[in-house]
Amino acid sequence: MSTTRILLSQSVIQTRVRELGRELSEHYAGKHPIFLGVMNGALFFLTDLLRAVDLDEVEPSTIRVASYAGAQSTGVLHGLDGLGDSFRGRHVLILDDILETGLTLSSLAKAIRKAGAADVKTCVLLEKPAARVRPIHADWVGFHIADEFVVGYGLDYNGRYRNLRQVRVLENVE
Ligand code: IMP
Ligand code: MG
């Protein structure tokens, strides 16, 4: 059996999400941004942040890309074809669960810029210090964590543990 150890409690996460909400409210004041959650990992982060910002006109949106199989990044990103015109001229904030190699965020940001967005920024719940394949930094980071495999609050291990309210370290991975 795999076991888990709590890294970030529900209240620690919620406090930080409210802080990020205040910063994003200031940054996007008077604008009509798209908050684009990378599914499924940013499911809770997106919905909690939407409720934490004091902005009247945020447009929630989601996109599905995948580069992971099990606990290993495959380095290939799927799901970026056919973005169409929905980002043209828009301020887009990409929300992801975790920045590790940077492959997901950099490919996605590039594709959305190419689709004509006026501005693309990134916000991640977690950032790991792992070696960056692409030189990318998120504009907003919830928590910097150690190089451990984490699950919960949207993060999964092969589809499991996503619904946990805390972020936990997965130990004894099987
Ligand atoms: P990157 O493309 O290597 O930056 O990885 C980003 C994606 O990898 C995230 O959106 C997650 O889906 C997945 N990922 C990276 N590290 C972890 C982890 O510790 N737990 C669960 N998923 C992870
Ligand atoms: Mg993911």
Q: What is the pLDDT of residue 102?
A: 86
What's the gap in Å between 30 CA and the centre of ligand 2?
31
Q: What is the pLDDT of residue 84?
A: 79
Task: Report the predicted TM-score, pTM, of the whole model to 2 decimal places.
Answer: 0.91
pLDDT digits (tens, 9 = 90+) for 23-71: 999 999 999 999 999 999 999 999 999 999 999 999 999 998 866 556 6
Give the closest residue (by CA) to ligand 1 atom 12.
41
Is the CB–ligand 1 distance for residue 101 below 6 Å? yes
Q: What is the pLDDT of residue 137?
A: 87
Question: ω into residue 40 within 30 of 0, thus cis?
Answer: yes
- The backbone torsions φ and ψ at residue 22, rounded to the nearest 5 degrees and listed phi first, read -65, -45
- Flag whether pLDDT at 78 surpasses 70: no
Task: State the pLDDT confidence band at 104, using cuts at 50, 70 and 90.
Answer: confident
The gap from C-alpha 15 to its chain's centroid, in whole angstroms, comes to 17
